[in-house]
Structure 1
Amino acid sequence: MILRSALFWLWLSVSSLFSSFCFSQSVTEIRSFQVTEAKQAVAVDADHFYVINNNTITKHTKSDGKQVAVWDGSKEGIKHLNSGVVIKGKMYCANTNYPEIPMASSIEIFDVKSMQHIGNHSFGIAQHGSLTWINQRDGFWWCGFAHYSGKEASEGRDTRWTAVVKYDPEWRQLESWVFPKHIIALFTPKSNSGGAWGEDGLLYCTGHDEQDLYVMRLPKSGFTLEHVRTLPAPMHGQGIAMDHWVKGKQIIYGINRAEKKVIAAEIK
């Protein structure tokens, strides 16, 4: 009886510790900004955030949300920017021809100080689908490529073909992974819209509309990303960005398209 009781309390302690470890994370809104253009995504650096909307990018101060600059790509043929990330003074934006078929994608590069377009990397008709997000970690490029279901399916490929692809600095493909079936079901009929590496080494992903962050990690074996947990979040899908300029905290930016808001939240 004593041994059984001891085993019970040991099991309870381990279960509580496991539960705390696995489910203690939360996402809490710390600030929001009303921005009319908040429809696709947001990028962020030390002092500013950048609202990405199809063919425009507006630059805002993080302190009060005031718009200080704008870039308009409509005259340059830009129709569907998806998301962006700021790295060493440059913003790299995912650009596609959505909803056209066949899917074509490029990365458009901007100087965030001048807000001028300074470069481009074209995938052309990308073999993996429609580029929705870009990130950098450990000196490598990481990209999310979307496929869609229903009438938006391309060449018989639906949301199940959505992938995360790793490239070297010269854009040579190294590896790629797919999402677990239950995450694909949550993406469907749309796809994976946003992705960003956290300070904890985990990959935070969003769908198109769901008010959730899907926390993933690279698998030890196989080709399917491991789903660590799902976090209810104040952002509603679309493109996201980690604020790596805030030390000691994990701050994420996203949007609420329906309310035209940019939202900053802390992941604890």
Structure 2
Amino acid sequence: MGHKVKKIMERIDFIKNDGNVFNLIPRDSLLVRSRESRETHSFIRKEVIGREKEKNAIIDLLLDNNIKERISVIPIVGIGGLGKTALAKLVYNDDTLKTHFELKLWVCVSDDFDIKKVMENIIGSQTNSQLDKVQDDLRKNIGGKKYLLVLDDVWSEDVEQWHELKSLLKDGAKGSKVIVTTRKQKVAEIMGTLAPVVLKGLDEEMAWVLFGQFAFKKEEEPKSPGLEAIGKDIVKKCARGSSCNKNYWKSVVFSKFRK
């Protein structure tokens, strides 16, 4: 048993230090390399753990009718793997918002903040139309309607493009809201009208729950106190500033723990 525990700890050290694979080190060089082409949507595939507080705080802002701005922008900021998109999906699909917004829209922006493409994705139609035509179509789609728009995975720090898009988004009804997910604090400063929601790693309690999903069978607690102690020792070592990404914890467990 002692030999296995040693092997587990060695594997954990390897995983935690392998920032290129798990994107756990928030350095600019890693951020550039990790920016892969991807598409996201509003559908929730898996349960999200440890973000109830942030979820409720964002929903409270979305439901607040006393905010003076015509449209409010709420940034969600954090390094890769902390669950920014997952949190946005939780909020987007919450039942309390069903009757509050007339339109709900989800756009994956990624590193190419092409304003024409973003507008086309908002209206759900990609054409060869001129920019003026796309702008008119956007106004028709959101004009006078209270909407919730999620701009997921924003990287661009182009202030002018954002201001141009924001001026068009103001055609929606007062009380419309925009959620922006980003890894970059500068993006949050440029786009946000409200204080950003800054995500951090899981605490040990939440990390233990997530770890248990892979270490033990469904609804099964560790039968041996020694086994539980080993598991909690692993979690304690991994949880400090760790990722909320389930793939990270899955790799920890399946590397050695279940052999």
- RCO (CA 8 Å, sep 6+): is it higher in 1 or 2? 2
Which structure carries more strand by proportion?
1
Larger radius of gyration, structure 1 or 2? 2
Compute the TM-score of the two structures, normalised by the length of structure 1. 0.22
Compute the TM-score of the two structures, normalised by the length of structure 2. 0.23
Which structure carries more helix by proportion?
2
